[in-house]
Amino acid sequence: MTKSKDKDLPPSTAPISFPRWREVLRSEQQGSALARSHEVEIFAYLKYLKAARQRASVESVLAFLRHLDEQGQPTEAARSALRWFFQAAAHQAQSGVDASAPVPSESVQIIRIEQADQGGPPWEQRMVAVLRTRQLQWRTEEAYRGWARRFASWLGDKPIEEASGEDIRRYLEHLAVEGRVSASTQRQAMNALVFLVRETLGRDPGDFSGYRSGHAGKRMPVVLSQRECQALFAQLSGANRLMAQLMYGAGLRLMELLRLRIQDIHFEQGIVIIRHGKGGKDRVSILPESLRGPLLEQQERLSLLFQEDRRMNLPGVWLPQAVENKIPTAGTQWAWQWFFPSRQLAIDPRSGIRRRHHIQDASFQNVIRKAARDANLSQRVTPYTLRHSFATHLLANGADIRTVQELLGHADVATTMIYTHVLNRPGLAVRSPLDNL
């Protein structure tokens, strides 16, 4: 895999028409050896684009460099030539010098590529390639790669490519006995290792059944009273307060909240659309009427940020691969912007593009924990406590269990039933003997 210096490479996400590139190159370099080298490399890149039916973009440049690397060919000359090509194209489009070229309506967008995360050892690079081909979420990729690295470390000197079903069984048992992990964490590790062996290494993992399972304890969800919710919200302000109220008011999971886009809030219909939630499913939840005004104000503030980002010609927001393939410019369109964007730009670990992302989950979790301490709440409060409180309060107010199940996005009603246990205080009709003293 190419270990890049791609941070110096500025391709464009918009289609580029640069028919006079050879003329410009020769006039600038005046027949030098560098000009001849650039010409050969650019021709090779354009030929690759034609064969792959791709357009000039960050992804196609990285794919071309990886293609050269896989063929055992050097990439330095190609990187230097393509850097010149896109810089020259941008200059032509912005200065209007190349009047004969059909320049797109948008100015050519220069993107600074940082170090994309393509994995470390060869086996991890192969795993990354398969994970991204399957278009799995970044958090899933992080989890699977993390378990694979820990497994490789546990194996010691034994290459991970030679891992057997017995190795997997022993490692899973090690997690339960020595690591004392929960059953759900153990299952996640098992899924990651099966994916590694079967999908990445192309081998049958064999029989690794019979391992000792992790502790499958049943925990009651932490639920706040309505008064406690109000006390929590009182310690928050701005976007953090709005996010907490929306998470409670619509029963959203944390990442569902953070991944909301402008087009997902429907004010006229009074609904919030959650796209690609848990299990890859879409669903609809309620939009609290009391949040209509604050959400509209948030949207107006986002409009100013969006205009500033477009003025600075920043790369568009991250898009699902299917959307990016179908609508390459959707990332710079208003409807696709994050509803709760981060104030700082961040590097996309998959492509290396520095772009505006949504607020980080860890940041919001810290905000909620601090607000709970400031509100003197005795429970251990996390963002998910707001979702648990949403479900419990709906049921307490007489909502149908099936309705709550649909709003929460639970595949099985048994998962939703846990909130009824919170409502049903044990021995409700029994008086404590202490109160009779």
Q: Which of 55-64, 197-206, 242-251, 314-323 has the lowest mean pLDDT?
A: 55-64
Is 351 or 242 the better-scoring residue by pLDDT? 242
Contact 385/224 with Cβ under 8 angstroms? yes
Q: What is the pLDDT of residue 4?
A: 42
Question: Could you tell me the two tokens for 412?
Answer: 């099985």
Strands of 283-286's sheet, edge to edge? Answer: 265-266, 271-274, 283-286
Confidence of residue 45 (pLDDT cuts 50, 70, 90): confident
Helix (H, G, I), strand (E, B) or coil at 176: helix
Phi, psi (deg, nearest 5) at residue 383: -55, -35
Residues 265-287 have a mean pLDDT of 91
Could you give the CA distance from residue 54 to residue 61 in angstroms, rounded to a whole number?
A: 10
Mean pLDDT of 298-305: 94
* Spatial separation of the C-alpha atoms in residues 365 and 254, rounded to whole Å: 9
Q: Check whether 151 has a pLDDT greater than 80.
A: yes
| Residue 113, pLDDT above cutoff 50 | no
**pLDDT 10s digits, 3-12:** 444 444 444 4
**Confidence class for position 27, pLDDT limits 50, 70, 90:** confident
Q: Which tens digits make up the pLDDT trace of 185-213?
A: 889 999 999 999 999 988 888 877 777 77
pLDDT score for 99: 31
Q: pLDDT tens-digit profile of 357-414?
A: 999 888 899 999 999 999 999 999 999 999 999 999 999 888 889 999 999 999 888 8
The H-assigned helical ranges of 156-225 are 165-177, 183-194
Q: Across the chain, which distance is largest between two alpha carbons, in Å? A: 104
Q: How many Cα atoms within 13 Å fall on the side-chain side of residue 415? A: 10
Residue 111 has pLDDT above 60, yes or no: no
What's at 275, amino acid-wise? R
- DSSP 3-state of 266: strand
How far apart are the C-alpha atoms of 417 and 391, rounded to whole Å? 10
pLDDT in tens, 29-41: 766 778 778 887 8
Q: Collapsing DSSP states into helix, strand and coil, what is residue 391?
A: helix
> Encoding tokens for residue 340?
């709760």
Q: How far apart are CA 37 and CA 20, in angstroms?
A: 17
- Best CA proximity match to 229, nearest among 6, 37, 390, 434: 390
Q: pLDDT-based confidence at 22, cuts 50/70/90?
A: confident
Q: How many residues does the chain have?
A: 437
pLDDT on residue 431: 66
Tell me which of 67 and 299 has the higher pLDDT: 299
Give the pLDDT score at 101. Answer: 38
Q: Rounded to 5 degrees, what angle do the CA atoms 334, 340, 346 make?
A: 90
Task: Give the pLDDT score at 81.
Answer: 84
CA distance 309 to 354: 12
Neighbours of 204 (CB within 10 A): 9
Nearest to 263 by CA among 275, 276, 247, 252: 275
For the segment 113-137, the average pLDDT, to the nearest whole number, is 80
Of the pLDDT bands very low, low, confident and very high (cuts 50, 70, 90), residue 94 is low
**Could you tell me the pLDDT band of residue 47, with boundaries at 50, 70 and 90?**
confident
Per-residue confidence (pLDDT) for residue 352, from 0 to 100:
80
Distance of alpha carbon 83 from alpha carbon 25, whole angstroms: 12
Output the average pLDDT for the chain: 83
Q: Which domains does the chain have, with CATH numbers?
A: 6-95 (no CATH), 122-200 (1.10.150.130), 226-420 (1.10.443.10)
Q: What is the pTM (predicted TM-score) of this model?
A: 0.66
Most confident of the ranges 63-72, 104-113, 339-348: 339-348
CA distance 334 to 307: 9
Contact indicator for 173, 95 with CB cutoff of 8 Å: no
CA gap 357, 261 in Å, rounded: 11
Question: How does residue 236 score in pLDDT terms, banded at 50, 70 and 90?
Answer: very high
- Which stretches does DSSP call E strand in 2-147? none
Q: Distance (Å, rounded) from C-alpha 259 to C-alpha 261? A: 6
Per DSSP, helices labelled H in 178-286 are 183-194, 226-234, 238-250, 254-258
Q: What is the pLDDT of residue 12?
A: 41
The confidence band for 21, taking pLDDT boundaries of 50, 70 and 90, is: confident
Least confident of 67-81, 136-150, 289-303, 346-360: 67-81
CB 293 within 8 A of CB 308: no
Least trusted range by pLDDT, from 48-62, 310-324, 387-401, 421-435 = 421-435
Q: What is the mean pLDDT of residues 218-233?
A: 90
Q: What are phi and psi of 357, to 5 degrees?
A: -110, 180
> With contact defined as beta carbons under 8 Å apart, do 50 and 131 qualify?
no
pLDDT-derived band at 105, boundaries 50, 70, 90: very low
Judged by DSSP in three states, 106 sits in: coil
Residue 206 backbone zone (phi > 0: left; psi -120 to 50: alpha; other: beta): left
Q: Are the C-beta atoms of 285 and 257 separated by less than 8 Å? A: no
Q: Which of 2, 239, 65 is nearest to 57 (CA)?
A: 65
Q: Compare 155 and 73 and report the one with higher pLDDT.
A: 155
Strand (E) or helix (H) holding 24: helix 21-29
Query: Cα(124)–Cα(144) distance, rounded to whole angstroms?
Result: 10
